[in-house]
Every structure is written in C-alpha cells, then in structure tokens.
Structure 1
C-alpha cells in the first residue's frame, strides 16, 4: 500500500512539472506571436494645446464723457454740472416713455406714450419739441395737437407749444410694432411770455 501511495505522489509531481513547463512555453510562444504585428495604438491625447499666455499688465482706458452735440466742454460744465440742478437744458429735459398697453380687437397692439418735461424750476418751459419717428403711422387716430408727423423721421409734440415744468403729454397709437421715439430738437422759452 505504501508503494502505491508513493507512486501516486510521483505521478502527481511529474504531472505538475509538465503543466508548469507547458504554461511557460505557452507564454514564451505568445510573446513570439506578437512579434509580427505592430504594437497597439495608444489612446489619442487630443489636439495640441496652446502655451499659457503671460498675464498682461492692466491698461488704463481714458473715460469719455458724452455731451450734447454742438457744446464745448467748458460751456457745458459751467451751465449744467449735474442733472439735478435747476435751469432749462432743452432736449435733455424731455423724456419719452412708451409701453404696450393692450391689443385691439383687430389683433394690432396698442402703445401708450408719455412725453414728460423733467426740468425743475421756474424757467423750464420748453417748446418746439421735435422727435425722430420714422414713417410713423397708427391704426387709431392720434390727436394731432399732441403728436403729429411733419415729414419722414420728424414728428412734433404738443403742436409746437411749450410744455411747462413737470407737464406730461400722453397719447395712444396702434401699430404692429413700436416706433423708436427720441427727441431731436427742443427749445427753452420764457415761461412768462409763452402762450398757455
């Protein structure tokens, strides 16, 4: 019985040696099999990246102060150093606000326009207010004493009559789009001699 167990151990050891030898031969053969093929490609690194830029020193940009056309700086600053001072400044004192109010039964939108004389003080009557208005037209009638087109891109506010300090002229117009309205000309007049 002892002889058969030692023979079985020898057979197992021999079999183990054969397996170890064949696996190392297989590994060596597998290394040789790849010898005829190119190595696998590496994953792409992406496009080349530019080199980082050096930080630029801060640049001082001179400030530009906008002034009404036709005024030199000394006259403008002496006459109106701040927007809250008293005194008439003509077109600067006229503000135009407009907003969509409703849609007419025909489907055309309507717009409410308020033209305000924002000047404060006693001598703040402004007359002859002309506005850029393109080819202004309206589906509903606009009171011509409040707003009327004189020619292309020129409309007259309040029939050219003066607007006193704080006065508001309002009107409604209807069109498929709003017009951009901006003051082009406005003249300060003496409120005592201006017609009411």
Structure 2
C-alpha cells in the first residue's frame, strides 16, 4: 500500500509541475504574427506607372516618372526578385528560394524580357541548381533562364543552399518582342 501511495504522490507532483509549464507554453500566449523581415524575406521595391485613357503616365509632381527602359514597352521595373529562407538541408545548411517575376502585363502589348542578368557576388550553392535556370557566369554576373525570354506575367524560381543569402538584383535585361 505504501508503494502505491508513493507512486500516486510522485504522479501528482509531476502533474502539478508539468501542467503549468504546458499552459505557459501553449495556452497563455496568443499566436503572434510574423513579419517578412523576421523570416528573411528580401524583395526589391518596384513601381509601375498608371496609364490614363489617352496613354499618358499618371504621376505626382514629387514622383519621378522616368523608368529604366530597355526597349519599346519594356522596363527594368517590370522584373522583380524575391528571396526568402526555406527549410534547411538535412545537414543544417540554410536553404533559400528565389523567385524572379516579370510583372509586365500581357494586356499592355506584352514585354517578354530576355538575357536577364543578376548581380550575384561570388554566388555558390551547396545544392545543385539547373544551369539552364540559373548560373554564375563570373563574379557578380549570373544568367537567368539560359538567356531565354521570360514571358509577361511569368516567373522563374530556384533554390540554393549556403550559410548566408546572397543579395540578388537585376543588373541588365533586354526586351524580346
């Protein structure tokens, strides 16, 4: 009888210690919102001009209206790069997903952008990347989609693994109408 009461006493003590810890961990704290900076999401800001019915650009006097044009109807502002951390590899190396978007709308006549080069520093990856999708040509010069055009409204994505993320940005592109 004495052995049973000791077991019950030990169980009661462990429940009184573990239960409040579980409540503190899961019960009392409301779920918190995670902002993009906390998860390492990096994006380039872009701006598109609003078109009036007569085809002229709408902008405020304080906003510059020039865009980085690379051809008839094409703008460097139409291509954006988003990058964020994803699940690490099994060996613990951080993994990052990169998405390159062509934001040009096909309703505006389309503007497929080709020969897209990114500034990429001394890019390297512990994870194999298809060279037709993304490859480093030299220091600070990487080529997207093997130089082929990225149609309006489409995207390319790839993942790389490294101990840190590389700041990727569009350095040049050409208009492929």
Give the drift of 1:65. Answer: 3.3
Structure 1: gaps spanning 5 or more residues: 1-61, 72-78, 81-86, 191-196
Give the drift of 1:189. Answer: 1.2
Higher helix share: 1
Question: Does residue 1:96 correspond to 2:95, yes or no?
Answer: no
Q: Please give the alpha-carbon distance, in whole angstroms, between the structure 2 residues aligned to 1:67 and 1:114.
A: 26
Aligned match of 2:135: 148
Aligned match of 1:132: 119
TM-score normalised by the chain length of structure 1: 0.53
Number of aligned residue pairs: 114
1:106-158 superposed Cα distances (whole Å, 9 cap, x missing partner): 11100011111100123311101000000000000011101000000000010
Higher strand share: 2
Map of 1:80-95 to 2, 5 A cutoff? 87-89=73-75, 91-95=76-80
Aligned match of 2:64: 65
- Tell me the C-alpha RMSD between the 2 structures: 2.3
Q: Secondary structure at the match of 2:146?
A: helix
Give the drift of 1:104. Answer: 1.0
1:9-44 superposed Cα distances (whole Å, 9 cap, x missing partner): xxxxxxxxxxxxxxxxxxxxxxxxxxxxxxxxxxxx
- Bigger-Rg structure (1/2): 1
Give the drift of 1:68. Answer: 5.1
Q: Please give the alpha-carbon distance, in whole angstroms, between the structure 1 residues aligned to 2:90 and 2:112.
A: 39
Give the drift of 1:64. Answer: 7.2
Give the drift of 1:169. Answer: 0.5
Q: Secondary structure at the match of 2:87?
A: strand
Q: Please give the alpha-carbon distance, in whole angstroms, between the structure 2 residues aligned to 1:164 and 1:65.
A: 27
Aligned match of 2:27: none
Question: Could you say if the C-alpha distance between residues 104 and 118 of structure 1 is closer, same or farther in structure 2, counting changes exceeding 3 Å?
Answer: same
